[in-house]
Structure 1
Amino acid sequence: MHIKMLKSYLDRLDNIKRPIAIVGTERSGTTLLYSILANDPTLYWYSRLDSLLPNSPILTTSLRKIAETVKPQVYTAIPGKISKTRGLIPPSECIPCWKKIFNWGTEDNYILQDDYFEEFNVPPSTKEKIYDDLKLRLLVSGKKRLLFKWPGLSLKIRFLYDVFPDIIILHIIRNPVDNLASLIKAKKKAYQSTGERFWGIKIPGWKDLIQEDFAVQAALQIIKVDELIEKDILQFNLVQRKQYFRIKYEDLLSAPEQTVEKVLHFSGLKSSVRIHQALAGVSKPTSTISREIMKSLPQSLQHKLEELSQKYGYI
């Protein structure tokens, strides 16, 4: 009875307006942008607490609300760490929350063919549950809008657009050579700790690449993720609809104030003291990656990465 009453109440609330999703290949700067925007007081985002208790939105949101009141936090990404942010209850990708929706299993028993999802891949009943869950989180938190970050969403733009027709897509890109080096490093670390052979976004055809060198895997992920993001953005005219904005990771490091101001303006957000405090902790780039790493790739992949570098003005 209580569930029916709650459902009835949620149905009467306004629709979720202009949620924001951060997309991009792993190790491209998505966590840094996420941690900065998480300091906006109007945005609700998944926290590390939600990762621990994904089925308890009222409890986790209430605890966060208390924590933010008692001890306001400034969230900043931890340099060199994968998807880690400083703070008492910091932002999280909340993999368990997304796993409930997409149910992908494990690498050895990956239930899905790959991570590319279209609007019809999720039944309407599941979409309704997602929507109601997020409405409830907004209600309890008192926040106005949603902020998502998970690299897997890069291959789910069609699904996101179907659920949230006015969604804002923030696409962060990085110099492909630097992205390649960082992604290879992350893959090696994942393999050493978990034995996972294909860490990261499961691009179409990934199962045929499990035994490939990490450099080849990483190059194909960077190329394919960019290709699929562009395909879906064009399909729904998100650039013309002013729902798509691209950010360079390098700009975020070298000119954080100016870059974030552009992101905030595009997203319909305002700057705040906490965002300025977070930006003060952004580290300037201190080293460059040798292009020697490209020589380990087949000529065809080297050529495609060079084309991508030219496309985004890196060479």
Structure 2
Amino acid sequence: MNWQPPPRPEWAARMIEHGNALGGAQHLVSLDGEDLIRAATTTTGLTDFGGEDWRQHFDIFVRALEEESNLHLVGRILVRTEIVRALTNRLKLAALWSERPSILADNVEAPVFIIGSPRSGTSILHELMAQDPASRVPFMWEMNHPVEALAGEDVAESADMLQKFWHNLQPEYETMHANSGYLPNECIFITLHEFLSDHWGGNHNVPSYDRYLQKADQRPAYRYHKEFLKTLQQRGASKRWLLKAPSHIFQLQALFDVYPDARVVRTHRDPLKTLASSLSLMGTLKWMRCNEVDMSKVPGQLAFGYAYVYQREMEQRASGALPDAQFIDVQFEDIVQEPVATIEGVYAKLGWPIDDTVRTGIGDYAKNKPKGSRGAHAYSLAESGLDADAERERYRFYMERYGIKGEGS
């Protein structure tokens, strides 16, 4: 792959250089598993993390970080902060659930999950549908601080500052994905607490963890996800959950095992476009934290992997292994060109009412957030080394099945 990392901001480059000059980032910021756990227990004064499944996932991830990631100083600081926060949240949530068992006795009824390949419109559709106050979405700030959110503490601004730090660390990232503590965000920021999450693999060079994640039983992560939602829904009037994460596409069986009444809004876009954009995003995310990023094998693996997942999903929906009647298919082109009409169609299939106030809110949000408003995200399939004709043929079955229009390569 011909992907080239973007230049680092001067402040970040200098900080990384200073870390190397002081003997290496690994000697300055500890990622030892026991040390991370000790940091969380010392901070909270708590020792019960709740459940047992998480520890194996945690150990495998932390070992991969140290042995494979080649993190620079800023990367180590970032991931240590995230891991300790996840552990701290687990401790606080376990204590909360022990004190208030009624929280876990609550129900999460018929949640709606927006899924699809990365770069297929899941984020903008989530944000547009979130304009309806009747829906409940998980905001980034409350996923970062669930117990504090429930207690009414003012933690949103600090969460937003952390998200803006990502843009400061790599300004090109802002052209690829909107990050804000005040926006609804992905379920990976909930499942990361179980240490079964694409957040951990997507931001670090951890191939052994990636392989583990592909084979692991994901139901513990979804059960924890459900308990997390039960906690968040204690604040706010609505329990009509509207959720989103592209990574759900890999774990649909586990999702429906835990949420049998779930509905899925499935976005579709030309896979050559989503491939090229995803590869650019993946490289940038890892470069934000790692000294080196080897993307040479990723294009072929990703192209094969998504084709396999699409084929499996189609077969499972056709066979009844997945409840096809609970899926709603939506085209990326329709989301972009006719957002209000497209969402009206989704609402009709969900059986949700929609009024002019919601229509206006959706339309205004779409007008005020046009594609490319944060700068153009430059990418092309040619950079990946993949052959456009071969990939078009690889995905022909999928495009024909859902009537997806090609956007070029």
Same fold (TM over 0.5): yes
Higher alpha-carbon deviation: 266-275 or 171-180: 266-275
Question: What TM-score does the superposition give when structure 2 sets the normalisation length?
Answer: 0.58
1:306 is matched with 396
When structure 1 is superposed on structure 2, of 109-118 and 171-180 the one drifting more is: 109-118
Q: 1:198-243: CA deviations, max 9, x gaps?
A: 8xxxxxxxxxxx641x54244234323322433443443422xx31
- For the residues of structure 2 that align with 1:169 and 1:143, how far apart are their CA atoms? 19
Q: 1:279 aligns with which of 356, 361, 366?
A: 366
Matched, 1:113 2:113: no
Pair 1:101-2:194 in alignment: yes
Distance 2:341 2:305 in 1: 30
Q: Where does 1:223-302 land on structure 2 (aligned, <5 Å)?
A: 223-234=307-318, 235-239=320-324, 242-271=325-354, 272=358, 273-281=360-368, 283=370, 296-297=386-387, 301-302=391-392
CA contact (8 A) 1:23 1:151 kept: yes
Q: Name the SS of the counterpart of 2:266 in structure 1.
A: strand
**How far off its partner does 1:141 sit?**
1.6
| CA–CA distance in structure 1, aligned partners of residues 155 and 265 of structure 2 | 28
| Gapped regions of structure 1 (runs ≥ 5) | 65-78, 199-209
Counterpart of 1:22 in 2: which secondary structure?
strand
Q: Distance in 2 between matches of 1:29 and 1:163?
A: 25
Q: Which structure 2 residues correspond to residues 178-197 of structure 1 after superposition, within 5 A?
A: 178-195=273-290, 197=293
What one-letter code is carried by the residue in structure 2 that aligns with 1:90? L
SS of 1:139's equivalent? coil
Q: Distance in 2 between matches of 1:53 and 1:171?
A: 29
The secondary structure found in structure 2 opposite 1:182 is helix
User: Sequence identity, in percent?
Assistant: 20
- 8 Å Cα contact 1:57/1:133 also seen in 2: no
User: How far, CA to CA, are the matches of 1:80 and 1:2 in structure 2?
Assistant: 36
2:307 aligned partner, one-letter code: I
Matches of 1:95 and 1:177, distance apart in 2: 24
- How far apart are the structure 2 equivalents of 1:26 and 1:114? 21
Match of 1:30 among 116, 122, 140: 122
For the 8 Å contact 1:24–1:172, the answer to whether it is kept is yes
Residue type matched to 1:236 in 2? Answer: A
Cross-structure match for 1:19: 111
Structure 1 pair 97/40, CA: closer, same or farther in 2 (3 Å)? same
Secondary structure at 1:179's aligned position in 2? helix
Q: The residue matched to 1:45 in structure 2 has which SS?
A: coil
Letter in 2 for 1:23: I
How far apart in 2 are the matches of 1:290 and 1:122?
A: 36
CA–CA distance in 1 between the matches of 2:381 and 2:267? 21
Equivalent residue number for residue 159 of structure 1: 254
Q: Which has the larger radius of gyration?
A: 2
Q: Give the direction of change, closer, same or farther, for the CA distance of 1:236–1:278 in structure 2 (3 Å limit).
A: farther
Q: How much does 1:256 deviate?
A: 1.6
- Structure 1 counterpart of 2:101, one-letter code: K
| Equivalent of 2:178 in 77, 84, 88 | 84
RMSD: 3.8
Superposed displacement of residue 22, structure 1: 1.0
Cα shift readout 1:170-199 (whole Å, capped 9, x = no counterpart) = 11010122223322322342354334858x
Cα deviation 1:91-137 (Å, max 9, x = unaligned):
1125342111353555426446354578x6435xx765543331232
Q: Quick check: 1:49 aligned with 2:147? A: no
Q: Distance in 2 between matches of 1:302 and 1:129?
A: 38
Distance 1:292-1:157 versus aligned 2 partners, 3 A rule: same
User: For residues 41 and 255 of structure 1, do their structure 2 counterparts lie closer, same or farther at Cα, with a shift above 3 Å needed?
Assistant: same
Comparing 106-115 with 263-272, greater Cα deviation is found at 106-115
Alignment length (residue pairs): 281
Please give the alpha-carbon distance, in whole angstroms, between the structure 2 residues aligned to 1:61 and 1:116.
37
d(CA) in 1 for partners of 2:321, 2:96: 39
Opposite residue 367 of structure 2, the aligned amino acid is A
Cα distance in 1 for partners of 2:309, 2:242 equals: 21
Asked if 1:144 corresponds to 2:239, the answer is: yes
- Structure 1 or 2: larger helix share? 2
1:41, CA displacement in angstroms?
0.9
Separation in structure 2 between the aligned mates of residue 27 and residue 217 of structure 1, nearest angstrom: 17
Within-5 A mapping of 1:170-209:
170-195=265-290, 197=293
Q: State the partner residue of 2:150.
A: 58
Tell me which amino acid in the other structure corresponds to 1:92: N
TM-score by length of 1: 0.72
Give SS of 2:255's match.
Answer: helix
Q: How far apart in 1 are the matches of 2:311 and 2:222?
A: 26
> CA deviation digits over 1:35-63, x for unaligned, max 9?
11111212222212034325545147987
Whichever residue aligns with residue 364 of structure 2, its letter is Q
- After superposition, the Cα gap between the structure-2 partners of 1:255 and 1:197, relative to the gap in structure 1 and judged at 3 Å, is same
2:366 maps to amino acid: L
